[in-house]
Each structure stands twice: as structure tokens, then as C-alpha cells.
Amino acid sequence: MKKVTTSAPGKLMLFGEHAVVYNHPCIVTAVNERMYTTIELLETQEFLLEAPDVKVLDYKKNIKELGNGEIPKDAQFVEVTVKNVFEKYNLSHGIKVITKSDFSSEFGFGSSSASTVCIIKALSELFELHLSNKELFDISYKTVLDIQKKGSGFDVASAIFGGTLYFVTGGKTIEPLSTSSIPLIVGYSGVKADTVALINSVKEFSSKNPQLVEGVYNSIEIIVNKAKEEIENKNWEQVGILMRENQKLLQSLGVSIQKLDDMISSSIAAGAYGAKLSGAGGGDCIIALAPAEKNKDVYSAIQKVEGKILHASTNAKGVRLEL
């Protein structure tokens, strides 16, 4: 039977998290650690899922039941994605989906959004839907919102377009930056962040302190716009300084934690130009930028406070068919 494999990159938020949920811009880069999906057409009317990385094995359903009943958390994104595409394009066919990832779903690299994008791209190919990247974005973003209820869609855009993007909420602007690889150092905290819980906690803080938070978001926007220019000019020292400023503003929203703060301050003490958390906060990763000759010192400094170095290169290619 016909089968197709697609892959999409993970991502790292460089600047602008949280503000981007509320109509401000952010900058996101795609990383070379990828998510892979293979979809095979079946003779039966079944939906089968194998996602060994998240321990979903032999998951099975009639395709008429997609989206109904109890869905295990780790099968949710795949199942709801297939359901949304089938409904929108009036499709009905048994399929087997196999997902595989280069990276752990614990890192906060966006495994759920990358798998949603991979699946839609694979279905577009199998059923000859000829979806444009914008159509791919719209249906992927709808799926993420169906499940998470909240989010800007930056992770979906990164998985589709790849590279390094200047992105505004809901895809109002998706602009590729002209840059090659960014020499980022990535430190993993070992703590899994709950993105939706953090978005909610910022929302609650904002409802009590609306002016303060609006001021923070406006300051973040100014940083994002400066960072866009400095990244394109490869002025890493200035980018590092902007990272420090962005981090201070994120701290004022209450989303950083001690472990992240420790990794960030140790990186800077070891010679990094700057460092910040990447993503929702509460855990996941920090990113740092340092002069090449200081990289080893920064690695050791992060490890000393029990962070783990992840080797991920940036500006990776977006979703694609694998032969």
C-alpha cells in the first residue's frame, strides 16, 4: 500500500515568548533535531498509531470514531490532527501512523506541533491535497488550539517554514530572517515545563497588574525588533545583551525558576554575551550566546549547576518529504 514519510524540525524560541500570545512579535529558530512521521494507507477502516518514543504502541480505533472517547494524552495530537484533516477535506480511509523523534519530548523542542505538521504534510501528499504552506499553517494551528486552547502558533510556523522567523500571533506575519546558523548554546534544566499552565499564570498575573504587563510586553516588542536587526547583522554580542534584557522582563512576569536563573547567571559569569530562558519558562531550556573561545567554559558552567548541554544547530530546514 502507498506510504509517505515526512519530517519537521524542532524549535527554540529566541526572543518574545509570552508577549507573542498577545499580538506582539517573537523570533523563533528551527533546530536540526527532527520529528518523523510515516503514514501508510490501509485496506481496513482502522486508524493505527505507533509512537514508541512516547510509549504509545498498538493504539487502534475505527476511523469513524476519531476524536471520540478517551484519548491517551500522547495520542491526542496525532488523532485530532487526522480527524481535522479528514473532516476538512472530506476524506475517509484507514491509515497507519508511525512517529519517531530525534529528540526527547521533555526538552520543549515542540514535538507535538512538529508531529501535527508532519502528519498534515503526509496526508496532503497521500491524498493529493496540494496544500500550500499557509493552508498547512492554518489547519495545524487550528489543531493546536483545539487541544491546547492557547498559543501563538510560533512553533507550528517554525516546523513548516524552518529557518529563523520573525513571527506575529496566529501567523499575522511570518517573515524569514536572512541569517545563517546562530552559534547558540543550549542548556536543558531537566525540568519539564507545562506551557499551558504558564500561559494561564501569566494571564492571571496580568489580570491583577494589567498596566505592568502591557508595559512588559511593549518592552519585549522593542527588544524583538532590535534583535531581528542584530541577528541579521550577526552581531552576537548585541544579541546577547538583548537576551539579558528579555530575560529580566520574563523574570518580572514570574516565569523563570531558580534552576534556569542559575544556568543563565553561570553562563554569563563564564563569559557568555548573554543568556535567557527559551519558551514558556518553568523549566525546559536556556539559550546562551558566547564568543567561540568561551564556549567550553560556558558548557562547564552550565554543567556545574546540573544543566545538560544539548547540541542542536539552528536555522534548520522546515517540513519536507523524506525519500
Positions in the binding site for ligand PMV (CB under 6 A) = 13, 17-18, 20-21, 108, 110, 151-152, 154-155, 193, 195, 199, 279-280
Angle at 11 between CA 37 and CA 232, to 5 degrees: 135
Nearer to ligand PMV, 13 or 224 (CB): 13
Nearer to ligand PMV, 22 or 59 (CB): 22
For residue 225, the minimal CB distance to ligand PMV (Å) is 17
Q: Where are the beta strands (DSSP E) in 149-229?
A: 164-168, 173-176, 184-188
Hey, what's the cell of 315? 536555522
- Which residues fall within 8 angstroms of residue 183, CB to CB, at 6 or more apart? 236, 289, 290, 292, 295
Nearer to ligand PMV, 47 or 154 (CB): 154
CA 190 from chain center: how many Å? Answer: 17
Nearer to ligand PMV, 53 or 155 (CB): 155
Nearer to ligand PMV, 270 or 287 (CB): 287
For residue 76, the minimal CB distance to ligand PMV (Å) is 16
Angle at 245 between CA 239 and CA 250, to 5 degrees: 120
Q: How far apart are CA 241 and CA 322, in angstroms?
A: 39
Inter-residue contact 13 to 26 (CB < 8 Å): yes
For residue 159, the minimal CB distance to ligand PMV (Å) is 12
For residue 13, the minimal CB distance to ligand PMV (Å) is 5
For residue 26, the minimal CB distance to ligand PMV (Å) is 7
Q: Which residue is nearest to ligand PMV (CB)?
A: 279
Whole-angstrom CA distances from 144 to 194, 204, 273 are 15, 22, 35
